[in-house]
Amino acid sequence: MSLRHIYVITKKELRSINAEKTIILAILLQLFIAMFSSFLIVGLAAMYDPDTLSEYSRQQYPVGYTGSPSPLEELLRESGDFVVYRMDLATAVTALEERKLSAVIWVPDTATDADDPVKITLYTIKNDIQSSVVNSKLKDVFVTYEETLRDIRGDRISSDPIVVNLPPEVPGTNFYEFVYGLLIPLLIFMPAIISAALIIDMITEEFQHDTIETLISTPITFAEMIWGKVAACFVIVPIQAAVWIGLMMVNGIHVAGVVPILLHVSVASLLMILLSAFVALHYRERTSAQFIFSTALVVVLIGILSLPANPANLIVLLSVGAAGSGHWIVLVVMAGVLAVGMTALNRYMHVVERTALQ
């Protein structure tokens, strides 16, 4: 097997990728998103934890206060997040429907020291991002009001309550869980998934367009042609992953262990590419191969992710600098599996060449 021939095929396929506008646009879109990953994090973190949005909002929201006077009205004004308007309920709800108000609060005439609970009614707009922010900010005010009521009615307690010492809340925990637990592994492995799907198109189009005979009529063998395609799909993975990491670091997201991360994603991506190549060589038809590969990938990923030392978990630990030296053992095991897979793929190429091309 000639490395020069493999290099020729790799260069040819990279030119084809460069000429394929859809693939280039997909890669550019990934890089564009990475350049503005801070904005992406805000949006996706809001889906992960809607309360995150309230941390980025400094606007004062108009709120309609209806019903009886209570300490809640003063708490709303003191919060600094709301402009409170006193009005009747019907007028307030109409203004809310016209989006002149962000929320309407109705307070009953129950006295703060009464025996009955104070049942407050809140009106907001459904399926609205602003409502999520307003609800989060109102929740803080309502909790303060609840504590006020507890203090006023505290003399009714006939026995001492049990004191529960909870650990102090760490601000921003959900944000970092989302960034390092979900966003970074997703972005790092996205190029690997794209390349694994790309190799199927490269191989099956040679069978469907009947161009294999033309290629192997040259000094290049069938195995060299396949390995050249594998190399072309593989080489773009660590490059994209490195650019992802670099752009995230530019956006202020610290990522530790960059070199080990690139090594892990490179080995894992090559394993996925080999799996795709097996499927493409077996089915030789794009639709069937893509469907079988997608199904097999889901099954394989479920099995791998169930392991404590799976690549995604290791990427998280490496990105925060908490992986230790045990990840090298996993990398060696993956490299061993990769060597077996490359040997098996090379043998299967010869089987396909004998059966399909003769």
Terminal CA-to-CA distance of the chain, rounded, Å?
20
Token output for 332: 């060696």
- The H-or-E segment that residue 59 falls in is none
Predicted TM-score of the model (pTM)? 0.63
Segment 154-158 long-range contacts (CB within 8 Å, at least 24 positions apart): none
Helix (H, G, I), strand (E, B) or coil at 168: coil
DSSP structural state of residue 119: -
Instruction: Assess contact for 99 and 64: CB atoms under 8 A.
Output: no
Q: Report yes or no: 135 and 124 within 8 Å, Cβ to Cβ.
A: yes
Instruction: Tell me the per-residue pLDDT of 244-258, one tens digit each, with 9 for 90 and over.
Output: 888 778 777 788 888
Give dist(CA 84, CA 111) in Å, integer.
21
Average model confidence (pLDDT) for the chain?
A: 80
Query: Rounded CA gap, 73 and 120, in Å?
Result: 12
Rg (CA), the chain: 30
Mean pLDDT of 154-178: 66
Rounded to whole angstroms, the Cα distance separating 210 from 175 reads 52
Q: State the DSSP H helix or E strand holding residue 84, giving kind and residue range, or none if neither.
A: strand 82-86
Could you read off the pLDDT of 60-110 as tens digits, one per residue? 889 999 999 999 999 999 888 899 999 999 999 999 998 899 999 999 988
Task: Say which residue the tokens 């009529």 belong to.
Answer: 217
Looking at the chain, the whole-number percentage of residues with pLDDT higher than 90 is 14
144 with 126: CB under 8 angstroms?
no
- Residue whose token pair is 């530019």: 250
Hey, is 72 helix, strand or coil?
A: helix
pLDDT at 89: 92
What are the structural domains of the chain? 3-35+172-356 (no CATH), 57-154 (3.40.190)
Query: For helices 258-283 and 222-250, what crossing angle results, to 10°?
Result: 140
> In the numeric block, which tokens belong to residue 57?
């909002």
In this predicted structure, the answer to whether residue 336 has a pLDDT above a threshold of 90 is yes
- Calculate ∠ Cα 304-308-311, nearest 5°: 55
